[in-house]
A and B are shown apart, each in its own frame.
Chain A
Amino acid sequence: MVEDFDPLNGFIGGLMIGGGALLLLICTGRIAGISGIIGNLFANARDAGWRLAFMVGLVATPFVWLSVAGDPYPVQITDSLPLLVTGGLLVGFGTRMGSGCTSGHGVCGLGRASPRSVTAVLIFIGVAMLTVYLMPLVTGAFQ
Chain B
Amino acid sequence: MIRAAAGLASGALFGGGILVSGMINPERVLGFLDVTGRWDPTLAFVMAGAVLISALGYLLSKRMPQPFLDSRFHFPDRKSIDPPLVVGAVIFGIGWGLVGLCPGPALAGLGSLNISVFIFVGAMLAGMVGWRVFDRS
User: Chain A interface (Cβ within 8 Å of chain B)?
Assistant: 2, 4-7, 9-32, 34-35, 38-39, 49-66, 73-79, 81, 83-99, 101-103, 105-108, 110-116, 119-121, 123-133, 135
Contacts and interface: CB of A to CB of B under 8 A. Distances in A.
Interface residues of B, number: 118
Contacts of B60: 22, 25-26
Contacts of B87: 97-98
Nearest to B52: A18
Contacts of B52: 14-15, 18
A65 B19 CA distance: 9
Contacts of A78: 26, 99, 116
B6 A28 contact: yes
Nearest to B19: A62
12 contacts: A13-B46, A20-B10, A22-B57, A38-B128, A58-B12, A58-B14, A58-B15, A65-B16, A73-B25, A77-B26, A90-B95, A95-B88
Interface string B35-50: 1110011111111111
Given A91-B102, A106-B47, A128-B97, A17 B17 contact: yes
A29 B74 contact: yes
A100 to B, nearest CB: 8
A20 B17 contact: yes
Nearest to B36: A133
B26 A123 contact: no
Given A7-B45, A14-B49, A18-B51, A77 B100 contact: yes
Given A22-B53, A93-B130, 14 more contacts: A12-B20, A27-B10, A28-B3, A29-B67, A53-B11, A62-B24, A76-B26, A88-B99, A91-B127, A92-B95, A99-B84, A111-B51, A120-B89, A131-B97
Interface of B: 1, 3-28, 30-31, 33-37, 40-58, 60-61, 64, 66-70, 72-76, 78-81, 84-104, 106-114, 116-117, 119-132, 134-135
A13 B9 CA distance: 15
Contacts of B9: 23, 57
Contacts of A16: 13-14, 16-17, 20-21
Contact of B112 (A26, A53, A66): A66
A107 B102 CA distance: 13
A84 to B, nearest CB: 5
B10 to A, nearest CB: 4
